[in-house]
C-alpha cells in the first residue's frame, strides 16, 4: 500500500468480496475473485510512490495481475473456477461504445470522473490494486484472458505470461502504433521494463535495427543482451549524431517514448535536471518525415512534484511546429491491452519470444515489495514480479 512519498508498506486487509463498498455494497455479480499468482511492480506505480501524483494514502497498489479464479459471481458464464488467467490493467465494461470499438483504455462506465480505469491507480476509478494475495476483477467474461494451455505449461512460462497484463502489450502498442514493421529502423527512448518490452516487440514486428537510449548503463546492457544498439544519453546530447554513427543517417523510421513525464535532459550537463518535453522533442527531431511516434510513456494532468507551474498541470514545451512541418503522427494514451494480449500470449506459449528474460525478471515475495520498490527507484535493471503465494518461485 502507498502511504506517503517514498513509503510503501505491506498490510493485512479483509478477504475481498464481490461488491463495491464505495457504492453502498453493490454486488459485482459479473466479477470474480482471483488467487494472485504473480503481480508486478510497474514504473507507473513508481511515479505514485515518488509523490509525483495525487495518489491518496492507503491506496492498494498494483495493476499487473495474473491469477487463478477461486470464486465467480452469479452472472459470470464463461470463466470458471480454477481457470488460470491474465488480467488486462485496463478495467472495461465491454458494453459502452469505446469498449465495443476495442478502445478499452477509455471505457465510459468504470470511472465516475473520466473515461478509463485501472487497478490500484490514482484517479482511475478507485479500484483496489492487485499487489495482494487476492484480487477482484469486474466484468470477468469480457476482461479476463484465459490461458488455453495445461496448468504445467502455464506454470513453466509464468514469468513470461505475467508480462501480458501490461508491459508487453504496452511496449508492443508503442511499436505498432509508431508503424514498426519488417525492415524498420527504430529508436526507443528509455530502457526500463516498458522500453525493453518495446524493443522486444520491435524485433517481433521485424525491425531491422532497434536503438535504445537511456542514462542507466545497467539497463542499456540489458538491451544489448537481446540484440539492440544503444546510446548512453548521460554522455551524449546529440541523439541524431549517435544514430548517424549507427545507421549512416541521423534519423529513424519510427520512434517510441517509453519514458514519460519524468524525462531528464540529455548529455553530461542536462542529465541532472528534469526536462519533461525532452524525449518528445528529441523524437520529433530524429524521426523521418511522415514517420510515426508511439507514446506509451505516461503523461499526467496533475504532477505536484514538477519543477515548474506548467508541468504541474501537464503543460509541456513541445516543438509542435517541427512535428507539423515533418508531417509526423502521434499515438498517445493507455494501451488497450485486449487488442494485443492474446496474440502475444501465443508467441510466448509457442516459444517465439522470451520476454521475461529480455526485461530481466526478478521474483520476490510479496512481503519484500518495499525493498523491490526501493531498488527499482535506484535504477535496478530488473522487472520485479511479486510472488504472493510462492507459486512463481516453486514453478521456476
CA distance 207 to 203: 5
Q: Give yes or no for a contact between 195 and 186, defined as CB atoms under 8 angstroms apart.
A: no
State the residue for C-alpha cell 501490461.
Answer: 166
CB-based contacts of 142: which residues, under 8 Å, 6+ apart?
A: 92, 93, 94, 99
CA distance 214 to 223: 10
CA distance 172 to 198: 5
Res 209: pLDDT: 98
| Burial grade of 332 (CB within 10 A; 0-12, 13-18, 19 or more) | middle
Rounded to the nearest 5 percent, the helix, strand and coil shares of the chain are 35, 20, 45
Q: Give yes or no for a contact between 69 and 179, defined as CB atoms under 8 angstroms apart.
A: no
Residue 224, all three cell numbers? 544489448
| HEC-encoded secondary structure of 303-335 | CCCCCCCCHHHCCCCCCHHHHHHCCCEEEECCC
State the residue for C-alpha cell 518528445.
Answer: 280
Q: What domains are there in the chain, each with its CATH number?
A: 2-166+336-395 (3.90.180.10), 170-332 (3.40.50.720)
Res 302: pLDDT: 85
Res 301: pLDDT: 87
State the residue for C-alpha cell 487476492.
Answer: 134
| Burial grade of 273 (CB within 10 A; 0-12, 13-18, 19 or more) | exposed
Q: Which positions of the chain have pLDDT values less than 70?
A: 21-24, 269-272
Count the Cβ atoms, other than its own, within 10 Å of residue 312.
15
Res 270: pLDDT: 55
pLDDT in tens, 109-160: 999 999 999 999 999 999 999 999 999 999 999 999 999 999 999 999 999 9
Element at 11 (helix H, strand E) = none
Residue 260, all three cell numbers? 514519460
First to last CA, the chain: 27
CA distance 49 to 259: 16
Res 271: pLDDT: 56
Q: Give yes or no for a contact between 140 and 31, defined as CB atoms under 8 angstroms apart.
A: yes
Give the global pTM. 0.96
Res 272: pLDDT: 59
CA distance 1 to 194: 22
CA distance 194 to 42: 9
Measuring CA to CA, which residue among 67, 63, 77 is closest to residue 31?
A: 77
Angle between helices 341-349 and 167-177 (to 10 degrees): 110
Res 171: pLDDT: 98
Amino acid at each position: 500500500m502507498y502511504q506517503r512519498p517514498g513509503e510503501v508498506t505491506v498490510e493485512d486487509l479483509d478477504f475481498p468480496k464481490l461488491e463495491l463498498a464505495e457504492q453502498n455494497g453493490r454486488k459485482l455479480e459479473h466479477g470474480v475473485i482471483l488467487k494472485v499468482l504473480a503481480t508486478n511492480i510497474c514504473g507507473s506505480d513508481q511515479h505514485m510512490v515518488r509523490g509525483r501524483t495525487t495518489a491518496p494514502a492507503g491506496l492498494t497498489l498494483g495493476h499487473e495481475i495474473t491469477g487463478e479464479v477461486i470464486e465467480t459471481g452469479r452472472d459470470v458464464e464463461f470463466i470458471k473456477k480454477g481457470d488460470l488467467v491474465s488480467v488486462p490493467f485496463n478495467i472495461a465494461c465491454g458494453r459502452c461504445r469505446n469498449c465495443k470499438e476495442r478502445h478499452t483504455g477509455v471505457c465510459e462506465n468504470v470511472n465516475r470522473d473520466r473515461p478509463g480505469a485501472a487497478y490500484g491507480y490514482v484517479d482511475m476509478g478507485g479500484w483496489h490494486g492487485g499487489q495482494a494475495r487476492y484480487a477482484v476483477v469486474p466484468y470477468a467474461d469480457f476482461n479476463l484472458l484465459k490461458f488455453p494451455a495445461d496448468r504445467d505449461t502455464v506454470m513453466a512460462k509464468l514469468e513470461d505470461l505475467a508480462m501480458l497484463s501490461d508491459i508487453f502489450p504496452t511496449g508492443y502498442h508503442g511499436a505498432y502504433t509508431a508503424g514498426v514493421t519488417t525492415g524498420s529502423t527504430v529508436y526507443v527512448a528509455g530502457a526500463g521494463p516498458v522500453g525493453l518490452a518495446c524493443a522486444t516487440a520491435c524485433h517481433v514486428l521485424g525491425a531491422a535495427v532497434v536503438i535504445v537510449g537511456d542514462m542507466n548503463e545497467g539497463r542499456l546492457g540489458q538491451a544489448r543482451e537481446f540484440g539492440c544498439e544503444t546510446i548512453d544519453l548521460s554522455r551524449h546530447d546529440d541523439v541524431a549524431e549517435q544514430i548517424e554513427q549507427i545507421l549512416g543517417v541521423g534519423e529513424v523510421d519510427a520512434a517510441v517514448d517509453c519514458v514519460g513525464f519524468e524525462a531528464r535532459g540529455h548529455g553530461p550537463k542536462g542529465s541532472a535536471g528534469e526536462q519533461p518535453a525532452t524525449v518528445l522533442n528529441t523524437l520529433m527531431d530524429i524521426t523521418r518525415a511522415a514517420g510515426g511516434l508511439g507514446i506509451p510513456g505516461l503523461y499526467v494532468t496533475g504532477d505536484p512534484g514538477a519543477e515548474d507551474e506548467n508541468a504541474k498541470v501537464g503543460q509541456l514545451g513541445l516543438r509542435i511546429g517541427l512535428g507539423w512541418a515533418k508531417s509526423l503522427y502521434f499515438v498517445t494514451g493507455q494501451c488497450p491491452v485486449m487488442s494485443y494480449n492474446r496474440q502475444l500470449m501465443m508467441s510466448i506459449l509457442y516459444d517465439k519470444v522470451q520476454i521475461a528474460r529480455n526485461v530481466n525478471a526478478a521474483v520476490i515475495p510479496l512481503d519484500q515489495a518495499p525493498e523491490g520498490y526501493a531498488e527499482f527507484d535506484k535504477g535496478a535493471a530488473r522487472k520485479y514480479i511479486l510472488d504472493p503465494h510462492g507459486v512463481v518461485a516453486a514453478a521456476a
